[in-house]
Structure 1
Amino acid sequence: MKTYNSFLEFENIPCGVFVLDKKFNVAFWNNEMTRLFDITSKEIIGKNISRAVFLDPKSNPYLPLNIISCIDGSIGSIFKSAIIRNSNNIDTLVFISAKFFKDDQEKRMMAFVTDISSEITCKSTTESDFAFLNDSPISKIIGNDERFINLHRLIELASESTANVMIIGESGTGKELVSNAIHYLSDRKDKAFIKVNCSALSESLLESELFGHVKGSYTGAYKDKIGKFEAANGGTIFLDEIGEISPMIQVKLLRVIQERVIERVGDNKEIKVDIRIIAATNRNLRDLVTKGIFREDLFYRLNVFPIYTVPLRDHKTDIPLLVSHFIEKFNQQTGKSIKGMTEDAFRIIMDYCFPGNVRELENAIEHAFVLCNKPLIDYDDLPQEIRSTNSRIGLCAEVKSENYFEIRNVKPEVSISTIPFKRKLITKEVIENILQHNNENRTETAKILGISRVALWKKMKKFGME
């Protein structure tokens, strides 16, 4: 079991850090926590966390936050602002983020408390600091909002199946990170992981890129070339911007999914492939199906297990965590020692809608690093479109008028509420849905689910579907 000394690297960082054991007793309490609460480590180590008062800033009057319920499992994580009230009844507005880890199989919680009452000066406390706690690929998807907890769970479930996955969300919301996590958590993690941007190439070039070609199949084909599907054999292929592929590519992709064979351009020899397909789109494929742009049969074969990413404007409580992460990242890249943001800069960041999502936030911090030569990023260091009231109003109005919310309001066929336990990804509802769209063809349904026909029959019998 890790001792107090194991956490000494957090002793003097400019944000509060505390660790709780499974009995909710404090195992570590750094100097910033002492300043915030006016309670020393000697006074609270080994004592229950209830001695420290956290209040809900949204209640009037302030009501206590139940920190204990977070670690005992009734709440997934802490991911909100809070008021700290010290022994002198002085209130401080803070942002709390927490991560969980097991130490000798004992569940513990490590929480980071950032004082945002005057300026954001907390050192980065993202995955680099948690490396000794969790080196999972999923840890690279930064966020403590409740929807991120659900997203993490869906990723873990998807990684345990061979079913095709569709990742749906706006640009800049981390769809590629989700695909990375699914692959590297799966049994195929030691095999190839091939990524293809389907919108970056013309139809003929994409065909050659995906399926390969033989020498002489077209002008410039001077030698045989294997395609991405062959390169991914035994592993996973990630098809980004899948909504942009042409009808011809759609037909060929459908055959790959159904028969697990490909033919190189200019050749009629069938080549068997064993691949897991993960696709991603920022478009509403259902709408494209209705308009006849995207094949319905292909949609249902790709959309077996949909995962929806979250726009940044819908999890703004994660912005301090993300800002801290990007500051640490660019400090390492540039050699600077920027500590955080001033109150004015942070207020502008929190007030912006971020149509470009996390990618736009990252770009804004990188822009600020070019200009900033002080310990804190200030208002004037941020990009013009974020600082300008007129620009902000125009961009955020455009987000609403273009109906960016349409995709995330579509309910997935597989709700997280229907998957309560690991290894039970294939529910009765999933089977019924896929059978319906395959005209009750069990062989095709089993292929889409990534199981044998016998396994499908056993599951149907279990669910009383025979």
Structure 2
Amino acid sequence: MVRKEILIFEHEKGLHARVAALIVRESIQLQNKYKDKLFIGRNENDLLPATSLISVISSNIKYGDKMVIVSKGDNADKSLHEFAKFLKGKFDLEDKQTRDEIDQVLQETTLTMDKVFNNIANGVIVVDQEGVITSFNPAAEKITGLSANRVIGEDINSVIANSKLKEIIKSGQAELGKRQEINDATIVTNRNPIFSNGRIIGAIAVFQDISTLERLSGELKEVRALKERLHLILESVQDGICVVDKKGGIEYLNPTYAKMLNIDIETVVGRKLEEINQDKTYQQVLETGESITGVVTEKDNDLVIIFNVYPIQVDGEIEGAVLVAKKKIEIEKLADRLKELSAKAEYLEQELKREKELDSSFERIIGRSGVLKDSLVRASKAAETTSTVLIRGESGTGKELVAEAIHYASNRKNKPFIRVNCAAIPSNLIESELFGHEKGAFTGAINRKIGKFELADGGTIFLDEIGELSVELQVKLLRVLQEREFERVGGIERISVNIRVITATNRNLEEMIEENNFREDLYYRLNVIPIILPPLRERKDDIPLLVNHFLDKLSERLNKKVDTISQDALEILTNYSWPGNVRELQNIVERGINFTDSQEISIDDLPDYIRNNYQNQRSLINLTADGEIASIEEYEREIIKRALEKYKSFNATGKVLGVTHKTVAAKARKYGLVKE
């Protein structure tokens, strides 16, 4: 049963807290008496429980307002009648018992409100009419990262600079669903003014942290973008891709797969895979969850396809499979291409390894050829040890430079590097030079002399032209290498040294051993780390680099600006055999700098023996790049041009060519070799 009655609220002070508490007390008593449910509101669509103080107060009924009361239950007539009678009467707020009961209701409601205030997930901030914070619940603390104890009593804008609550107090207008940034949090907030007796006494903000929602929204956007990129990739790759569900139904296949099998995508999606592909390997993958690779199938048109099948697993459950297919012929092409790239990569790796293995001390040695780099890499490794090194190579190949580089790349670089040219020291003095002598050791020894080995203590001694040592001195050298000690000539004191020995020779030591001119035991002592330097004729690609290096170095030393060499002259140098190797090349460049009258070395600045050697190697008839022979007129023009360039006049050119100067002049004009 439902009963309704409409009343006019006649309490002059409106529905304030104590009056609302009286109404709630009466409603509870009637509800307990009649077992009915009572409701109150401004209209039928806005009814609230009359037993809830919060509901009654929130109805916001004022003096003179119409109010609707409703009772639902078996005794609705009686309960509604008594409730209406109570509301029409005067509320007795003076009786002590009544006040106590009202206070009890208010206290219980306040406790309830406190529980709600402190436990709701939304943040709540309340300010008074001056904008001073009066309430700041735990959710607000968590969202803002601010402590209630610190902010209560503070001006709202000093705590939250972009707060709009003061503007709400000023305007009296609510703002709903506004987005706001507070510290690191993003919130959505509702702001409302607080009224009392028709005037604004403060404002309240209720807000929710949406940072997580925004982050999830961003992540969802990234997932969508990733899905789109993945789709584009699958549509574009050259491999055939097919995705099936856990029952073998086709969920997706890319254009490559469809083209490979000559099928239409729209007609096969949703069908079983075995309907278009007789091979059922994928079923094994769906059953076991293990990938299968290298499955070969042949089609009716002699098309051979190789495919791999991979399971799709979600939380440990098999949800489907992916087939990746490629034509056999494409795999064969890829294999050939891979072999080609692997060969290139191996070559480049070796070249890079050569470059990386070289210490900066080897930068003085000019050249990029492979044979030179191999020798320098070995020398660079030798620098990391203290073993004896034997450098072999023709005269002028740079053996001393390599010895220096080994020393300065080693951990002895801050100690002495002592050079000894064994061929340049007279045989009767070389022992004294190497080991030193005491005063009076022989005629003319008026003072003690420190030998080269002693001077090299802690560092490196470089013995160049080691093959020129006498057999007798070889014995003493062997003893030093074995025991690292010696006596000075004419002395008895044994001197210990800590030295690294590097030797060099351009002689064939193996032949000298056969002829008993070099001790075999010494040879093995010296040849621990052999390094063979290639002759210049075996690394002709380095000649342009060396020429440019010597041009820069020698032009500065000779104070004469010569910085280029003609292409013809460089071609002659490149084709020369260089018996004197790099040293001979350096001498030729220095000679050219001295002889040239310009800033360029030309053919005329080269020695006759090099030019003649080149001419002897060349045919009088030079074929073009494709092997064709030119016309007689073309050869005649070239001969006259070269002769005029060299001999400068018609007379001299005519004498060399065996014709008159008039003939030379006429031909020169004919071929446009002289200006009219």
TM-score scaled by length of structure 2? 0.39
Q: Is residue 594 of structure 2 the alignment partner of residue 370 of structure 1?
A: yes
Q: Which residue of 1 aligns with 2:351?
A: 76
Q: How many angstroms apart in 2 are the aligned matches of 1:230 and 1:161?
A: 21
Q: Report deviation, 1:205.
A: 0.4
User: Match for 1:225 among 431, 449, 462?
Assistant: 449
Q: Does the CA contact (< 8 Å) of 2:393 and 2:505 recur in 1?
A: yes
Q: Does the CA contact (< 8 Å) of 1:71 and 1:77 recur in 2?
A: no
Q: Which amino acid aligns with 1:325?
A: H
Tell me: higher relative CO, structure 1 or 2? Use CA pairs within 8 A at least 6 residues apart: 1
Q: Report deviation, 1:388.
A: 2.1
- 5+ long unaligned stretches in structure 1: 1-64, 79-98, 103-133, 394-466
Q: Which residue of 1 aligns with 2:606?
A: 382
Q: How many angstroms apart in 2 are the aligned matches of 1:155 and 1:336?
A: 36
Q: Report deviation, 1:218.
A: 0.5
Q: Does the CA contact (< 8 Å) of 1:199 and 1:244 recur in 2?
A: yes
Q: Does the CA contact (< 8 Å) of 1:385 and 1:391 recur in 2?
A: no
Q: Which amino acid aligns with 2:349?
A: S
Cα 1:100–1:305 shift into 2, 3 Å: closer
Q: Report deviation, 1:373.
A: 2.0
Q: Which residue of 2 aligns with 1:268?
A: 492
Q: Which residue of 2 aligns with 1:163?
A: 387
Alignment: residue pair count? 277
Cα 1:227–1:338 shift into 2, 3 Å: same
Q: Secondary structure at the match of 1:186?
A: coil
Cα 1:317–1:77 shift into 2, 3 Å: farther
- 5+ long unaligned stretches in structure 2: 1-339, 618-676
Q: Report deviation, 1:332.
A: 1.2
Q: Secondary structure at the match of 2:565?
A: strand
* Deviation beyond 4 Å, 4+ runs, structure 1: 68-72, 99-102, 390-393
Q: Secondary structure at the match of 1:238?
A: strand
Q: Report deviation, 1:171.
A: 0.2
Q: Does the CA contact (< 8 Å) of 1:70 and 1:77 recur in 2?
A: no
Q: Report deviation, 1:204.
A: 2.1
Q: Report deviation, 1:71.
A: 11
Q: How many angstroms apart in 1 are the aligned matches of 2:362 and 2:346?
A: 20
Q: How many angstroms apart in 2 are the aligned matches of 1:158 and 1:100?
A: 16
Q: Which amino acid aligns with 2:387?
A: A
Q: Which residue of 2 aligns with 1:175?
A: 399
Q: Is residue 559 of structure 2 the alignment partner of residue 335 of structure 1?
A: yes
Q: Which residue of 2 aligns with 1:320?
A: 544
Cα 1:392–1:157 shift into 2, 3 Å: farther
Q: Secondary structure at the match of 2:569?
A: helix
Q: Which amino acid aligns with 2:555?
A: N
Q: Is residue 435 of structure 2 the alignment partner of residue 211 of structure 1?
A: yes
Query: When you count helix as a share of all residues, which structure comes out higher?
Result: 2
Q: Secondary structure at the match of 1:74?
A: helix
Cα 1:203–1:392 shift into 2, 3 Å: farther
Cα 1:286–1:136 shift into 2, 3 Å: same
Cα 1:154–1:336 shift into 2, 3 Å: same
Q: Does the CA contact (< 8 Å) of 1:243 and 1:283 recur in 2?
A: yes
Cα 1:236–1:332 shift into 2, 3 Å: same
Max Rg structure: 2
Q: Which residue of 1 aligns with 2:531?
A: 307
Q: Which amino acid aligns with 1:74?
A: E
Q: Does the CA contact (< 8 Å) of 2:457 and 2:497 recur in 1?
A: yes
Q: Does the CA contact (< 8 Å) of 1:159 and 1:185 recur in 2?
A: yes
Q: Secondary structure at the match of 1:155?
A: helix
Give 1:85-234 correspondences, 5 Å limit.
136-234=360-458
Q: Report deviation, 1:340.
A: 1.4
Q: Does the CA contact (< 8 Å) of 2:576 and 2:614 recur in 1?
A: no
Cα 1:314–1:165 shift into 2, 3 Å: same
Q: Is residue 508 of structure 2 the alignment partner of residue 284 of structure 1?
A: yes
Q: Does the CA contact (< 8 Å) of 2:536 and 2:582 recur in 1?
A: yes
Q: Which amino acid aligns with 1:76?
A: E
Cα 1:225–1:384 shift into 2, 3 Å: same
Q: Which residue of 2 aligns with 1:359?
A: 583
Give 1:348-427 correspondences, 5 Å limit.
348-389=572-613
Q: Percent identity?
A: 49
Q: Which residue of 1 aligns with 2:658?
A: none
Q: Report deviation, 1:100.
A: 6.2
Q: Does the CA contact (< 8 Å) of 2:435 and 2:453 recur in 1?
A: yes
